[in-house]
Structure formats: C-alpha cells, structure tokens
A and B are shown apart, each in its own frame.
Chain A
Amino acid sequence: NAGVTQTPKFQVLKTGQSMTLQCAQDMNHEYMSWYRQDPGMGLRLIHYSVGAGITDQGEVPNGYNVSRSTTEDFPLRLLSAAPSQTSVYFCASSYSFGGNQPQHFGDGTRLSIL
C-alpha cells in the first residue's frame, strides 16, 4: 500500500516552460487536493477534487490547471512556469469530502523555476 505518490521529487524549469506534477493514490479516496508551501510558511490550497470529473479552485489557483479523469490520479499542470511558482508542492487525499476524514499527504515535489 503506497499511499499518496508524487513524481517527480525534484524539478528545475526555465521560465515559460510547462510541466505536469503527478499525484496518484491507491486508497480509493474520492477527495484529492494540491497545496503549495513557500519557505517558512504554511501550506496553501491550489485546487481540489471531490471525485472523478469534478474539480474546483482553492486559495491560489492562478497559473495552475488540474483535471481528474480517474479516482486514482490528480495531476497538476503549470502552463507557463514563472519564478513565483518556485515552491514545494504537496498532494493530499482523503476518503471523501466532508465527514472529517484525515488527509493523507505525499512527500512533495520540490520545484525551482529559473
């Protein structure tokens, strides 16, 4: 049981490049989300999904795109990378939206944009 798996663990991009951060969970969780964490700060919610085919914006969605075609996967796309998007990105999942279920987090993707 792998839990929440994020790939890659590290990535360096040039300004203007695009890339996809992968997130997969094997716990059959309906709810998945993406956070970013900047140095010395708490996590901020980017996008979330309450089930396959359903996504919505969080606190800081600009510059990011998501889709949820399967229950297991929730990729995060950077359309045109900017230095301000240098951060650590965490994916999380829980059994459902609501119901006060614990969130399970991945180990993060450390992204640097030059």
Chain B
Amino acid sequence: DAKTTQPTSMDCAEGRAANLPCNHSTISGNEYVYWYRQIHSQGPQYIIHGLKNNETNEMASLIITEDRKSSTLILPHATLRDTAVYYCIADRYGNKLVFGAGTILRVKS
C-alpha cells in the first residue's frame, strides 16, 4: 500500500471551508484514496473515497489531482463538531486499512 503524508495539525474558523491535504506520490493505479475521521477517541468514521475522479457526498468533497499524487478533503462549512483527527489512506480494497498519525483539525469559533 502506498504511504500517505499529512500535516500534523490544522486550524479552521467555524463556518469556513476546511481543506485537508494529503500526499500519496507512490500510489498505484488500482489504489483508492480513503478518508476517515476520529472524533475524541471514538471509533473512526468513514467520510469519502475515490479513485481518480472528484467525489462529493453529504459530508465532504474529495479532490484528486490528475496525476493522483495528492488529494484534498474539503469540509465545505466546518463546525465545532468537525474537530477531529482526519486520516488519509491509500488502499486497493478498503479493508485492511493502514492508519498513520493523521491531521488534527481544530475548528475554532
């Protein structure tokens, strides 16, 4: 599985868009990019995943660069409840996930 690199932490103002970057320069053609988050030591929560096209659901948008070496998770209107650790994972099947340290997102009022 490809290794991913994320910033250690980020701050975002409440109501503004939160843009969380992820680098996965060694990703292979059949590996998807998955995003999960973990709120205050709860179990991780699935957010979104994609292969090469941009994806959007009710929680977030995922923008993947054309060369697939990086991606950005966008929370369009961050709230205090979005404060969490966000994990970017590259995996072919989405089952045996390898979690790194993730990005701590702090949403501030």
Contact = CB atoms under 8 A, between A and B. Distances in A.
Counting chain A CB atoms within 10 Å of each CB, which of B44, B49, B95, B98 scores highest? B95
A33 interface: yes
Contact of A97 (B36, B44, B49, B93): B93
Nearest to A31: B95
A103 to B, nearest CB: 6
A26 interface: no
A88 B40 CA distance: 13
Contacts of A31: 95
Interface string B66-85: 00000000000000000000
Interface size class of B (residues with CB under 8 A): 20 to 34
Interface residues of A, number: 29
Contacts, number: 63
Contacts of A99: 93-94
A42 B101 contact: yes
Contacts of A42: 87, 98-102
Interface in A40-56: 40-45, 48
A44 B99 CA distance: 7
B93 A88 contact: no
Contact of B95 (A33, A43, A88, A107): A33
Given A101-B94, A106-B43, 20 more contacts: A4-B43, A41-B101, A42-B99, A42-B102, A44-B99, A45-B96, A58-B96, A59-B98, A88-B41, A92-B43, A94-B94, A97-B93, A97-B95, A100-B32, A102-B49, A103-B95, A105-B44, A107-B42, A108-B42, A108-B43
Q: Which 8 A-B pairs have the closest CB atoms?
A: A42-B99, A105-B43, A102-B46, A43-B99, A100-B94, A98-B93, A105-B44, A42-B100
